[in-house]
Amino acid sequence: MNKNKSQKKYRKIRKTYLWLTVIEFILFAVCMTVLLVYAARNIGLYIVDSKMAAEYERIRYMGRLYDESLKNKESNGYSLLEEEGLDYLIVGSDGRILKTHGKNTCSDEEGIVTLPGYDEEITIYKDSERGYIYPGRNKKLSLNILEFREWLIDEGFEDDEIGLADQVVKTTGSIELPIWISTAVDNGKEQLICKAVFRASDNDVDMFAGIVIATIVLAGIILIVMLVTAIRNIIRQRRMLKLFFTDVTTENHNYTWLLVKGEKMLRRKAGKKNRFAVVNLKFVNYNTFCVCHSAAEGEEILCRIDRMLNSRLCRNEMCAHLGSANFGLILKYTDEEELRKRLESIIRDLEATDTNHKLYFRAGVSLTDKATDDAGNPVNPRSIDFNTEFNHAAMARTSMGAGDDSKIAFFDDRLIEEQKWLDKVQEKQQAALDNEEFVVYYQPKYDPRTDKLRGAEALVRWISPEMGFVSPGKFIPIFENNGFITEIDHYMIRHVAADQKRWLDEGRTCVPVSVNVSRAHFIESDLAEQIRDMVDEAGTPHEYIEIELTESAFFDDKEALLSTINRLKSYGFAVSMDDFGSGYSSLNSLKDMPLDVLKLDAEFFRGEARDNRAEIVVSEAIRLGKSLNMRIVAEGIEQKEQVDFLADQGCDMIQGYYYAKPMPGNEYEQRLQ
């Protein structure tokens, strides 16, 4: 499953500012440690090399004196060496020792080295007793720290004193490390091998310690800077995450926090022991509250709602403000009825948040333990997708429709099927229009006194090659919501005008046909001209086309509606009001609008027996319409006694199953005979 963008951003922030900094700090600390050890070792060897170079110069000098004594055939060559206090060996060209002085601890382990200030290669021998200095790689002297430490222990120093060079110096006078250095004498016929001693005094130790300490301090400062930087980056990361998860209005958790943390918690905790519900809660009349008061007061009440919701949470439950008037919750539950009662209790408390105003809330609920995949199989808790569950909860909430009242709805598979149907209709709507899959049906209107055809209403039907016959109730509401209904209006007007023109040309006696025009069309200032031009394009006389408006259209901009009606009438079109009596502003609409036809809503005639009160209302509505010079149409009539009653009251036309159902155009043609 692909991770959503919020989760990816969250992981990116964590990786960028935490792990990278930690890794950098660890690598730098390791490098600095290695560098310090390497530097200390090289500084020590440099000091040893420098001291040994001085010793080598002294041995070379003594070798030259010895050579001079041999050249002058003097017998004091050995005495000169001995006066210098050197332990030495004189080795002949055949390797035999010709002369020794002092204790011979020169081993056979030899090597070639170079010393500072000298280009020639020098042969050295390791001391057999205290061979701490020995020939190493790359013609460099090496120092055996471990053997030196063992020697200190043998000399009686405790472990806690080892490494304290000043203690060693103070106790022994100096640190002395021997090595044997060779130089050629007697024109190379012999080798003078003298014992050279590296001596470290107080000053040497202090200098070495100072250099090492300075290096350690510098490295420490750099490490501290790195550590401070790492801590700052961690603090910065935490601040960024806090901002990433903070809602601007409530200064508490936002949707991203609920998405990232909630999904993680659901996947870890959800199961047979823990059942969770994802809830989309909306403050329904929030916009009205802000209009009546102010945006600032609106934000303040959102903060109060957020605090109240969080105060009602239990362990492993979450709440976040999602923007505008929406909140998201993750709640634990044992059964649906218990959850419904809890939500009802929460909503009652929310409604009492402001005692001076009536607040309404609606909640959509998705139960995660009932989640299924595309194949209808139960979803493993570890695979729960919070986004999907929240969308299901939002779908359940919006399925309750519009209204200012508090409600709760649970998501079920029916809503998924409805959503799939919605997507399918919207996907195919334009192709269906282009292929003329929409068919005009006609429902005749008859005079109840003479039973003669006086008019008809054009109704749209969808006959799809793939889906078959699709009833209007399954696609008209979708078209009204997405705005495609305006395309259907144009389609119907053109086809009705074309049919009327064809029937007139065939010599049939035509009657006016009413065509519904959606309220969505009345935002267009040139609607009357659009209708006129479409009818004129077909060549149909305007008196054969009646424009029918639903009563809900009169709730919109009355000035624009009145202007459109007047222009339609000036072009010769009749205008009717459909569903009169279904709303609350009918009488006010009649007062303002110069309508030609009034259609009584079918609800007036529902029921098995006639009601005296309903008859009084219908008769008075007919009398009122007649007084305003309007023709009266009653729709939804199915019984003869209703026809007789309406005929007695002077109703002009009846539309309903008593006379005819909606029918295709070819059947309607037969009625025109």
In tens, the pLDDT along 588-618 reads 677 778 889 998 887 777 755 455 777 888 8
Exposure of 126 by Cβ count < 10 A (0-12 exposed, 13-18 middle, 19+ buried)? buried
Higher pLDDT residue, 59 or 157? Answer: 59
Query: Among 20-24, 238-242, 302-306, 424-428, which is the least confidently predicted range?
Result: 20-24
Q: Domains in the chain, ordered, with CATH? A: 5-214 (no CATH), 255-411 (3.30.70.270), 422-671 (3.20.20.450)
Higher pLDDT residue, 489 or 9? Answer: 489
On average, the pLDDT of the chain sits at 83
In tens, the pLDDT along 322-380 reads 888 899 999 999 888 999 999 999 999 998 888 778 889 999 999 988 766 666 666 77
Q: Specify the pLDDT at position 602.
A: 79
Q: Which two tokens stand for residue 200?
A: 């470290």
**CA torsion 85→91→96→101, rounded to 10°?**
0
At residue 105, φ and ψ (nearest 5 deg) are -115, 20
Residue 171 has pLDDT above 60, yes or no: no
Residue 403 has pLDDT above 60, yes or no: yes
**Whole-number Å distance between alpha carbons of 577 and 635:** 12
In tens, the pLDDT along 510-523 reads 999 999 998 777 77
Q: Which two tokens stand for residue 507?
A: 């010599």
In tens, the pLDDT along 28-52 reads 778 877 887 777 777 777 777 888 8
Grade residue 268 by pLDDT with cuts at 50, 70 and 90: confident
Residue 529 has pLDDT above 60, yes or no: yes
**pTM for the full predicted model:** 0.57
Residue 632 has pLDDT above 80, yes or no: yes
- Judge contact between 127 and 143, C-beta under 8 A: no
Other residues' Cβ atoms within 10 Å of the Cβ of residue 166: 11
Query: Among 493-502, 565-574, 576-585, which is the least confidently predicted range?
Result: 576-585
What would the mean pLDDT of 203-230 be, rounded to a whole number?
74
Grade residue 150 by pLDDT with cuts at 50, 70 and 90: low
What would the mean pLDDT of 405-418 be, rounded to a whole number?
83
Q: Specify the pLDDT at position 3.
A: 47
Q: Which two tokens stand for residue 359?
A: 């607040």
Grade residue 170 by pLDDT with cuts at 50, 70 and 90: very low
Q: What percent of the chain has pLDDT over 90?
A: 30
H/E stretch holding 111 reads strand 106-113
What amino acid occupies position 568? L
Higher pLDDT residue, 459 or 80? Answer: 459
DSSP assignment of 539-575, as one string? Answer: T--GGGEEEEEEGGGGGS-HHHHHHHHHHHHHTT-EE
